[in-house]
Amino acid sequence: MKVILDQDKCVASGQCVVAAADVFDQRDEDGIAVLLTSDPTPDQADDTRHAAAVCPALAIQIQE
């Protein structure tokens, strides 16, 4: 699994951090999402998919 994050689309809702805190974080200055890893482990995969599904800005893409 590979995760692609479009920071220009991000609206800093933080939903990805709630869903997968090991994969996503937020920038201190404006809450925009950052990737902690673009290659989640198999046990992070479900949470990462959920993060992509609930992102209100559709800023997270997943390549399986």
Partner 1 sequence: MTSTVPTAGELPADIPDFPMTRAAGCPFDPPPTAMAKQQEAPLAKIRLWDGSTPWMVTRYAEQRALLADPRVSADITRPGYPLQTAVAPGSRSGTGSFILMDDPEHARMRRMVTAPFAIKRVAALRPAIQKIVDDLIDGMLAGPKPVDLVDAFALPVPSLVICELLGVPYSDHDFFQDNSKVVIKRDAEPEERNAAMAALSGYLDDLMGEKLAAPADDLLSGLAGRVKAGELTRQEAAQMGVLLLIAGHETTANMIALGTLALLEHPDQLAILRDTDDPKLVASAVEELLRYLNIVHNGRRRVALEDIDIAGRRIHAGDGLVFATDIANRDPEAFPDPDRLDIRRDARHHVAFGFGVHQCLGQPLARLELQVVYSTLYKRIPGLRLAAGLEQIPFKHDGVVYGVYELPVTW
Report the residue from 2, 31, 41, 46 that binds partner 1 according to the rule CB under 8 A. 31
Nearer to partner 1, 4 or 54 (CB): 54
28 sits near partner 1 (criterion: CB under 8 A): yes
Token pair, residue 26, equals 């937020």
List of residues contacting partner 1 (CB under 8 A):
9, 11-15, 17-19, 21, 25-26, 28-32, 50, 53-54, 56-58
